[in-house]
Structure 1
Amino acid sequence: MSTPAPKGAPTRRSFRESQAQTQTRTPKAGRNLPAAIGVGAFLIALVVGSLLFYPLAFVLLVTCAAAVGLWELDQAFRQGRLSPPLPPVLVAAGLVPVAYFYGAEGLAVGFAVAVGLVLLWRSVGPGQDAAADVAAGVFAVAYVPLLAATTSLMVAAEDGVARIITFVLVTVASDTGGYAVGVLKGRTPMAPSLSPKKSWEGFAGSVGTSALVGALCVPLLLSGPWWGGIILGALAAAFATVGDLAESSIKRDLGIKDMSSLLPGHGGIMDRLDSLLVTAPVCWVLFSLLV
């Protein structure tokens, strides 16, 4: 005869049920997959819809995303005891439309003006930690609106809509391919101190998937060579991974998991922009060379 379990002790059945519930709540990939897919599909539809409606609507969308990303980065910095001057940093989101209307030269001048505003704004405050605050402000301007503004340089071209669609598709393919292969086959950690779930197998999936999408998009959408699409996709995957690891490094240094909880299953806007921001200038240069 079996001895009854002590009062309050978990039975074998309750243990199995709680274990199953835990596995349901915490997927292997570490995020809410249905929510992530739904939000990701909505964001892609928003980008494509703005492009098809009017390119300037896409520029406005990127400007708003850059402003929210700057706000998230500012809040993260403040958790790390840095206080960049927020008003001039937010104004720097205007670099996105400046690049659309005035090109690369206007973007360079606008960036210089934005950096000057950060310096001037912080110079009238207290002297303590001024250098660190200015450095954080300049970094925020260079990291978010300056890189994001290269999408305006792409969309301003004659075939700008096709360039943006190609850029988005190869970057999303990199993220999706790396995620899928990493979950199924990931064994060898790539940078365990920064991103424990990122593996070399997942990186190979990122490069392969992005190169395949590039090989299809460049000839079909841009009338460019298929081999140019492979180069574009492979480099986009490499730089997208760098962007992802760079933001992971920032978050680890500041002691936070996500930039915010604005996007269910993803985190914040910056948690979605990390790979896109670093990939955008690479795609802009490659389009100029290959298409």
Structure 2
Amino acid sequence: MASIGPYSFEPQPSGRGRHRAPDPDPDGPVRRPPEPAPGPPAEPRWDGPSWDEPAAPGRDESAGPRWDETAEQAVPPVRADRPPEPTGYAAPPAPAPVPAEAVPVPAPPVDPPAAPPESGKPRAGRNLPAAIGVGVGLGVVVLASLFLWRPAFLGVVAVGVVVGTWETVRAFGRAAEPEKRTRPPLVPLLVGAVAMQGLAWFGGLEALTIGLVFTLTAVLIWRLADGPPGFRRDVTSAALIAAYVPFLAGFGTLLARPEDGAERIVAALAMVVLSDTGGYAVGVFLGRHKMAPRISPGKSWEGFAGSVVTTAIGGAVLLLLLFHVPVWWGALFGVAVSLASVLGDLVESMIKRDLGIKDMGHLLPGHGGVMDRLDSILFAVPVSFALLSVLAPAAG
């Protein structure tokens, strides 16, 4: 140990050892580092081959890219023979399948019991007393106008045609689907409807046809004021209404023109009533096979057969009594008018189904609207006019 004056010192080794902590007391207690807290085991990590596993031949990819290549070029390709590295996240186990016997099956819904039919409601769904009362009242008005003062029948036809035209125009405007609604000009149709009946009464069939032409012309001119939108649809529907209601009704006016016009109207209307009544009665009690379920669900082939048989018998008897026509020709007249009557009913039902409405109107209790009563007559009177012109020509 060296000393300098009163001071003395011992040389220390150079380097890091000069700052090392003094050795612990060999006789003291042994201090150990604290044990880690218990927890989940650490996930295994794979940092390459272990000390006892030789590395794959080639360069060490863990050393990063070389100085002369980019990072993208240094990424090793995925080898098909090497399994993917573990991510440390395991997929949840799939749930065990539930046997089909353990799945509860809901019981099918039970339909409520059907309500018993009302005692006062007819099987055909029509208010029969009201329908009979309205039908009898209309028949009395028609017969009174024919036999008391025959020109009054022209007024009855004109009123019926005006109301029927108004109902049809209104039905076209209130179709269930907006794209099917049209706006036929009402004023020229009403004026033309009345004019056609007067022309038929005073001028005959040629004048009736001219009245239809002038009505269609008036419709075209009148519709120009409303502009282009919907022009074709409105004019087409107006032409259908003009030909369907007032023009066909004009043949009823032509039937009433001769001196025996009252008998001709009675023969035509009687066939329509017999066809409707016979078909209704047979269809209600014996109807099983639907005739046209998409057009008129209430009609059946059994009811149609009842209409034909009833009108054949009625036509044979009535034409023999009124015009002395042979029985076979009278039966043919009744069958032809019955076919036209059923066809007219189906056409009107088709129009209502297309428009999505139930009835054309509600003016006649038990019947619906006026058009719901005129539908069969409108097709029956042209056939009656044509056949009676051959079977029983009018004098003069």
TM-score by length of 1: 0.92
The C-alpha deviation readout for 1:213-261, integer Å capped at 9, x for no partner, is 1111111112222222111110111111110010000001101000111
Q: Secondary structure at the match of 1:224?
A: coil
Question: What residue is the counterpart of 2:343 in the other structure?
Answer: 242
Identify the match of residue 190 of structure 2 among 86, 90, 100: 90
Q: Which structure has the higher relative contact order (CA within 8 Å, separation 6+)?
A: 1
The C-alpha deviation readout for 1:105-137, integer Å capped at 9, x for no partner, is 111111110110011111221210110000111
1:276 aligns with 2:276: no
Q: Secondary structure at the match of 1:149?
A: helix
- Distance in 2 between residues matched to 1:174 and 1:164, nearest whole Å: 15
Identify the match of residue 142 of structure 2 among 47, 60, 71: 47
**Which deviates further from its counterpart, 272-281 or 23-32?**
23-32
Question: What residue is the counterpart of 2:151 in the other structure?
Answer: 56
Contact 1:60–1:97 (CA under 8 A) maintained in structure 2: no
Contact 1:163–1:222 (CA under 8 A) maintained in structure 2: no
Question: What residue is the counterpart of 1:100 in the other structure?
Answer: 201
Q: Any gaps of 5 or more consecutive residues in structure 1?
A: 1-14
The C-alpha deviation readout for 1:46-104, integer Å capped at 9, x for no partner, is 11111011111111101100000000001100012110000001112221121011101
Identify the match of residue 35 of structure 1 among 127, 130, 151: 130
- Distance in 2 between residues matched to 1:196 and 1:172, nearest whole Å: 20
The alignment's C-alpha RMSD in Å is 1.3
- Distance in 2 between residues matched to 1:24 and 1:66, nearest whole Å: 37
Q: Secondary structure at the match of 1:197?
A: strand
Question: What residue is the counterpart of 1:203 in the other structure?
Answer: 304
Structure 1 vs Structure 2: percent identity of aligned residues?
Answer: 47
Task: Give runs of aligned pairs for residues 143-158 of structure 1, distance below 5 A.
Answer: 143-158=244-259
**Which deviates further from its counterpart, 151-160 or 276-285?**
151-160
The C-alpha deviation readout for 1:155-196, integer Å capped at 9, x for no partner, is 112311110000000111000000000001001100000111
Q: Which has the higher helix share?
A: 1
1:159 aligns with 2:260: yes
Question: What residue is the counterpart of 2:316 in the other structure?
Answer: 215
Q: Which has the larger radius of gyration?
A: 2
Question: What residue is the counterpart of 2:62 in the other structure?
Answer: none
Question: What residue is the counterpart of 1:131 in the other structure?
Answer: 232
Query: Residue 42 of structure 1 aligns to which amino acid in structure 2?
Result: G
Contact 1:111–1:146 (CA under 8 A) maintained in structure 2: yes
- Distance in 1 between residues matched to 2:121 and 2:244, nearest whole Å: 32
1:65 aligns with 2:160: yes
Q: Secondary structure at the match of 1:253?
A: helix
- Distance in 2 between residues matched to 1:234 and 1:115, nearest whole Å: 33
1:227 aligns with 2:295: no
The C-alpha deviation readout for 1:244-290, integer Å capped at 9, x for no partner, is 01000000110100011100000000000000001110000000111
Question: What residue is the counterpart of 1:172 in the other structure?
Answer: 273
Task: Give runs of aligned pairs for residues 251-266 of structure 1, distance below 5 A.
Answer: 251-266=352-367
Contact 1:159–1:222 (CA under 8 A) maintained in structure 2: no
The C-alpha deviation readout for 1:7-57, integer Å capped at 9, x for no partner, is xxxxxxxx99x73xx423532111101110111111111111110111111
Q: Any gaps of 5 or more consecutive residues in structure 2?
A: 1-112, 176-180
TM-score by length of 2: 0.68
- Distance in 1 between residues matched to 2:160 and 2:339, nearest whole Å: 23
- Distance in 1 between residues matched to 2:329 and 2:303, nearest whole Å: 23
Contact 1:213–1:233 (CA under 8 A) maintained in structure 2: yes
- Distance in 1 between residues matched to 2:119 and 2:322, nearest whole Å: 41
- Distance in 2 between residues matched to 1:59 and 1:273, nearest whole Å: 16
- Distance in 2 between residues matched to 1:24 and 1:254, nearest whole Å: 33
